[in-house]
Chain A
Amino acid sequence: MTELQRLRDAFRTALDLPADATVDDLRYQDNEKWDSLAHMSLVATIEDEFSVMIDTDDVIGMSSFDEAVRILGKYGVDVK
């Protein structure tokens, strides 16, 4: 599975979305499933999936799917 597919699945799992849901355009708190509680579970899911530890500023900065891609790049995960 590609990194992109793994990240999409992490979003679907953490935000409790259907397996075929489109997640690439998701933004924090624009989707009702992505609230502050789900955000913590999303961060934990991404950390487990990619074996990274995300700093506080990046947890706060992860405001969209695109931002998650950019932030993972900082931790050496090339999502494409």
Chain B
Amino acid sequence: MSVFTLPQAEKEAVLLAQLSELTEHHRANCEPYDRILAASGFTKAESIADLPWLPVRLFKTLDLKSIPDDEVFKVLTSSGTTGDVSKIYLDKAAAAEQQKRLAATVQTAIGPKRLPMILVDTKAMLKDRRSFSARGAGVLGMSTFGRDHVWALDMDGHVDVEALRGFLAKHGDQPFLIFGFTFLVWLHLYEVALEHKLDLSNGILIHSGGWKKLIDQAVSPEEFRARLAGVGLTRVHNYYGMVEQIGTIFLEGPDGGALYCPDFADVIIRDPETWAELPPGKPGLIEVISTLPTSYPGHVLLTEDLGVVHGIDDGAWPGKRFSVLGRLPRAEARGCSDTYRSAA
């Protein structure tokens, strides 16, 4: 069952109603959020682009939640490049819902059955089970979709070729799942598969984590796909998501080369100077929209990532097709959160 079904106009009508309601819910239950909206003069949205956004960075400086303290079930944190930490508060309902929606999204790509799985990472990530890094938490979350897991890297971070060979001897003739962060897949799976002639042709790769490290090595997303196809890996899904909208991921479609928005989420590209919505083809800041954040006001967030919409209702799945291009240079990003800090 797919969660990529709604054409754009239909999706926007559904989302506008749900998100307007969610905006009122958060205003009534999160006092700092209500103050920000009051200061901005917001009353009512006529379209999803009218919905008031918060800069994602605000979750690093303010405690924003719409639930009483005794209903906090989980606090998720992410360390940013500056060392500041976002704090995201979930109650039981929000925690269960985000996991279900993430599962529905991933199952669109891999089906309902758990597949034998290669984790392109090291188990050392999970050594301290009381405090996983964001990377460890990501790997563990994705491991739900697999079984008979094998770690591609040993405890010291070296590629475990024998473990990979053993896995492929056992599972390589049927569909299997591969998950890892993009640069680890490139460094520790692609190059090793090439060198040792590992057959990955039944693999379905899901990867995330940004292109910066690869672009530093002059590897573009197109080249990444082309080179992986060279070791038989043709079913490849990149995704984009963030802890501030946990459970929502934008997934690369079967046609490759662009990310799609699930039915409960969308993106809007904005001009970084005027905040005006930009049409397809024009790069700008990515605003992410999702109905999942019910316990904290994270349903409409302006990220510090640059992206571009390639087209609407013209790809393998309905809705917007877009790409992430990289980070906004930091000085400009700081300016945008200052606007809101003074309003708050």
Contacts and interface: CB of A to CB of B under 8 A. Distances in A.
Interface of A: 29, 35-37, 40, 43-44, 47, 53-57, 59-60
A69 B253 CA distance: 37
Nearest to A55: B112
Contacts of A43: 147
B126 A57 contact: no
A60 B129 contact: no
B40 interface: no
B129 A59 contact: no
Given A53-B114, A59-B114, A40 B140 contact: yes
Given A37-B140, A44-B147, A56 B126 contact: no
Nearest to B107: A56
Contacts of A36: 140-141
Interface residues of B, number: 18
B114 A40 contact: no
B103 A56 contact: yes
Contact of A60 (B103, B126, B147, B149): B103
Given A37-B129, A55-B112, A56-B112, A47 B147 contact: yes
24 contacts: A35-B129, A36-B140, A36-B141, A37-B126, A37-B129, A37-B140, A40-B140, A40-B143, A40-B144, A40-B149, A43-B147, A53-B113, A53-B114, A53-B147, A54-B114, A55-B112, A55-B114, A56-B103, A56-B106, A56-B144, A56-B145, A57-B103, A59-B114, A60-B99
B100 interface: yes
Contacts of B113: 53, 55-56
Contacts of A35: 129
A59 to B, nearest CB: 6
Nearest 8 CB-CB pairings of A with B: A55-B112, A37-B129, A56-B103, A60-B99, A56-B114, A59-B144, A36-B140, A56-B145
